A = this chain, B = another copy of it.
Amino acid sequence: MSTADEIDRIPNVRRFETFPKDELQAHVMELTHAAYPHDEIYGGYCSLEEHIDCPPELVYRYLADVRCLAEWTYSLRNFAPVDDDGLFVSYDKIGGKTKIFTKVVANAQAMTVDYHCAWDQGQHLWMIYLMRVIPAQLVLDKPGSVVLWTNCRHPFYDQNPRPELAPPDRKVWVGDLWPFFYGGHHVEMQNLKHIHEHRHKNGLRMGPHPERTPAAETILAGEAAR
């Protein structure tokens, strides 16, 4: 069976040969709206894109260093290594005394940087921040970087699988914030942009600079002492 024969029997496959241009145009017009409800755009996934006027190699290297999260995120602070396998613990100050565990999975060739995270425990890192740096010269015909950032709505956002691990009196669950991920991530993407542009423009070291709060390991010590 040839390609076209087989493919054209698959429901919902729309190709030039069997779905003429005027039908495509009508269909695309139906999909294109003056405005889109929040939930249609940010309900299941949350994707952002930003141009940063700083070379892609520098942005990639910065993102791939987990300690930089203490600079450009709104609330992750006091990073300390948990093991020799790249797992770090820090506080997520948005959740009071909430511990967040983070492991970076990065690929220098593709310039992908993924943060595999979880609140409260480090065994199952299900909150995954998918990022990627693209040379802006290629895609926008100008210097600098394009940063892509996507989160996918893992079911644990809707239900905390380990509520017993929460610090006492914590009222918020990270997934309660899902509807505000676009806004929150926009703030953090702007942080990333402005930190890079400021340092690059002024010839400053890109970072990370050491965290001001000393002895991040006290988080782990606190754990061990329990």
Interface residues of A (CB under 8 A from B): 1-7, 10-16, 19, 21, 24, 27-38, 41, 44-45, 47, 49, 70-71, 73-75, 77, 93-94, 107, 109-110, 112, 116, 126, 128, 130, 132, 134, 138-141, 146, 148, 150, 152-156, 179-180, 182-184, 186-187, 190-191, 194-195, 198, 204, 207-212
Are B140 and A28 in touch, CB under 8 angstroms? no
- For the complex formed, measure the closest distance between the CB of A6 and the CB atoms of chain B, giving whole angstroms: 6
Chain B min CB distance to A182 (Å) = 7
Assess whether B140 is in contact with A13, with CB atoms less than 8 Å apart. Answer: no
Task: Please tell me if the beta carbons of A27 and B187 are within 8 angstroms of each other in the complex.
Answer: yes
User: A136: shortest Cβ distance to chain B, in Å?
Assistant: 8
The closest CB in chain B to the CB of A129 belongs to B139
Cβ contact of A32, chosen from B71, B156, B183, B195, cutoff 8 A: B183
CB distance from A72 to the nearest CB of B (A): 8
A28 nearest in chain B by CB position: B183
Residue of B nearest to A112 (CB): B110
Known A141-B156, A154-B141, A183-B28; contact A194-B11, beta-carbon cutoff 8 A = yes
Q: A188 — nearest CB in chain B belongs to which residue? A: B14
B31 touching A186, Cβ below 8 Å: yes
A134 close to B130 (CB less than 8 A): yes
